[in-house]
Amino acid sequence: LSSYQGLTMVNVLKPHKSTEPEYFIPEGSQIIESPDDDFDSAILSILQAAVPGGFQTNTALLPLDPRINNINVIELIINMHKNVLLYKHGILRDPASRRIDIWWKGEENGNLMALLSYIINRSDRREGKPVKRIRLIRKLFKEEEREKAENDLQRLLYNARLTGEVLVLDEDDKPIHKNIEEESSDAILIMMGMPGEKSGKVVRLFSLNTLFFTKELEKFRNLPPTLFVKAYRTMELFE
């Protein structure tokens, strides 16, 4: 996500009493032993630590892991004015597919998802890899106009400097996770907004309920790799 675009710090958290397993550690990353296996505190401490050169981290990428209190950590990160990306591993049903599906619901998370797709494709292009296909998908709500929705998505692609497809789905009685299963089961990556509700007019005021959050994420268990995105503010694509 940060190739040629910024600075990334990769930290691998290790339980205090476990022996170090044999797995690939990215070059430049570090293993951090978590005291008392308190991963929540370790994550928050890392995000608040000083970064060389005076840089400030603006985004945290976390795995969907039962050892992390997702609700507590995500809300605290948002209050620190940082974006949160929660990654759920999944099985690729079509390994040859190079399509990223972005499920659009609004600018708050949608602009950030579009920007991430742009960065991924720019990195692929720099490394001589085939760029990934981008598809913006939006499900119409009651009384929404199809033509306006399609025009809005095309404008987003243009503003995000992306070449991609637009798919607008008619309103139906299916829950959104069923629509995603039907349309995106062959994608290599799905991006969608993180389940939750705004608790105020400010984007960063984001309320998470543990039971609701857990039940919502469970609905997406059988999907390909999925990135749940929560932007702490609406990102302008021309910044």
Please report the pLDDT score of residue 202 as a whole number. 45
Distance CA 4, CA 120 (A): 10
What average pLDDT score do residues 210-218 get? 80
Under a CB-based contact definition with an 8 Å cutoff, are residues 13 and 20 in contact?
A: no
**pLDDT above 70 for 4:** no
| Closest residue by Cα to residue 86 from 109, 64, 110, 101 | 64
pLDDT at res. 239: 46
In the predicted model, what is the mean pLDDT of the chain?
Answer: 84
What pLDDT digit, counting tens, does each position of 84-101 carry?
999 999 988 887 888 999
Contacts of residues 57-64 at CB distance under 8 Å and 24 or more positions apart, as own/partner, are 57/9, 57/82, 58/82, 58/83, 59/83, 59/84, 59/85, 60/84, 60/85, 61/1, 61/85, 61/87, 62/86, 62/87, 63/87, 63/89, 64/88, 64/89, 64/217, 64/228
Percent of the chain residues past pLDDT 90, beyond the cut:
33
Phi, psi of 152 (to 5 degrees): -65, -40
Q: Tens digit of pLDDT for each residue in 14-47?
A: 887 766 666 677 777 888 888 777 899 999 988 8
Task: Name the more confident of 225 and 238.
Answer: 225
pLDDT at 207 over 80: no
pTM check: above 0.75:
yes
Residue 237 has pLDDT above 90, yes or no: no
State pLDDT tens for residues 97-149: 889 999 998 777 888 998 899 888 888 888 888 889 999 999 998 888 999 99
Least confident of 81-95, 97-111, 193-207, 214-228: 193-207
